[in-house]
Structure 1
């Protein structure tokens, strides 16, 4: 991917910016042609809310070269670069757009038959950016089966009504005039796990079911009737 170029007239000033996404603690270092640039009267350096900036004041020929912004934490490091050229024409001329890169890549995703799966990644770069999705190298078209969105640098692919044919490698490709980049991950569709609510459904017999019965003698209950004693006269009058 080509390094973007900024051309300045001698004596002009410019500011380079680099958006950084990551978990703290992040350290940012700027370099000019491999030599570290420090904050001072010539260069103003800041890093606030994920935005790393380098201001070059009253540029001279000695300020020409490739500037690199390197961000690093315990997980690793990333860098981006831009070239500054001094020219005699008046004004600032942007000769190229900023390239982009994926700050959040696709992850391996499991799916269940009949349900939906969501694949997400995030990209940073100069607009306009076009996004394309592929399954096993075949381009996908947004519709009822594959719903594709791109908003706030977040690329989302929703695969609906999953079937076994949806298993495969999915690729998100981002492109602007500075170049293109892509990331991939595998979606694996698995069968449903069915819950059995009725215990009787768990009973299976490979042989006829026999229930032995015994003949019991009939139990005869004798009932003896007798005449009740008449109620006393004072109770019968109540």
Structure 2
């Protein structure tokens, strides 16, 4: 038999595995994944002609990653070869950051949860400029999440924020909005009633 080749493919696509077999006929072919026999179905289709064994796997998903073995058998004995298939998943958002309205000096956190084949690169942007950790904000990242935190929001922080995620098979973005209310004003409020209840107070109001 001619050995199978290690393969990488993308979730949602299909893949063909083939193994060239030599020997006296009749030859029977069986395919295995991680040691378990594969049954022919709409997802798994196999054939054998011109001394070549074929296995087609449709609608690939992460669970299809694994070791595939082609086993050829005739009256003289049996032989097999194996190869590993890796199904890579483009990045996607499991949880998107939520838009927020806050008052000045508030602490703001934008959180994103992601999935896909690692490593996943995560970047944050505002006004087309990438955001990095500074004295006024922090950007935390790992393989499955990212947190953008503004320690004390200012009106100039208002705007659209873009979270971009990518790996070697794809990329996507999502947008969230921050609105930081204007300066705090005080409005003179009066409460009228009996002489004992007459009062005046300053009521805060944000614009």
Fold similarity call, TM over 0.5:
yes
- After TM superposition, give the deviation of residue 163 of structure 1 in Å: 0.8
Change (3 A) 1:174 1:111: same
Could you say what secondary structure the match of 1:131 adopts? strand
Match of 1:101 in 2: 92
Alignment counterpart, residue 60 of structure 1, candidates 40, 46, 56: 46
- After TM superposition, give the deviation of residue 104 of structure 1 in Å: 1.2
* Distance in 2 of aligned mates of 1:43 and 1:187: 53
Structure number with bigger Rg:
1
Match of 1:42 in 2: 39
- Equivalent positions of 1:138-149 (< 5 A) are 138-149=129-140
User: Are 2:176 and 1:185 equivalent residues in the alignment?
Assistant: yes
User: Are 2:127 and 1:136 equivalent residues in the alignment?
Assistant: yes
State the aligned residue count: 153
Q: Could you report, residue by residue, the CA deviation over 1:200-232 in whole angstroms, capped at 9, with x for unpaired residues?
A: 5449xxxxxxxxxxxxxxxxxxxxxxxxxxxxx
Change (3 A) 1:14 1:192: farther
Could you say what secondary structure the match of 1:165 adopts? helix
Q: Does the CA contact (< 8 Å) of 2:31 and 2:69 recur in 1? A: no
Match of 2:10 in 1: 3
Match of 1:232 in 2: none
Q: Could you report, residue by residue, the CA deviation over 1:31-53 in whole angstroms, capped at 9, with x for unpaired residues?
A: xxxxxxxxxx8279xxxxxxxxx
Which TM-score applies when normalising by structure 1?
A: 0.50
What RMSD over aligned residues (CA atoms) do the two structures have, in Å? 4.1
- After TM superposition, give the deviation of residue 143 of structure 1 in Å: 2.3
| Structure 1: runs of 5+ lacking an equivalent | 16-40, 45-53, 70-79, 204-238
Change (3 A) 1:147 1:96: same
Q: Does the CA contact (< 8 Å) of 1:129 and 1:176 recur in 2? A: yes
- Equivalent positions of 1:120-131 (< 5 A) are 120-131=111-122
Alignment counterpart, residue 33 of structure 2, candidates 3, 8, 14: 14
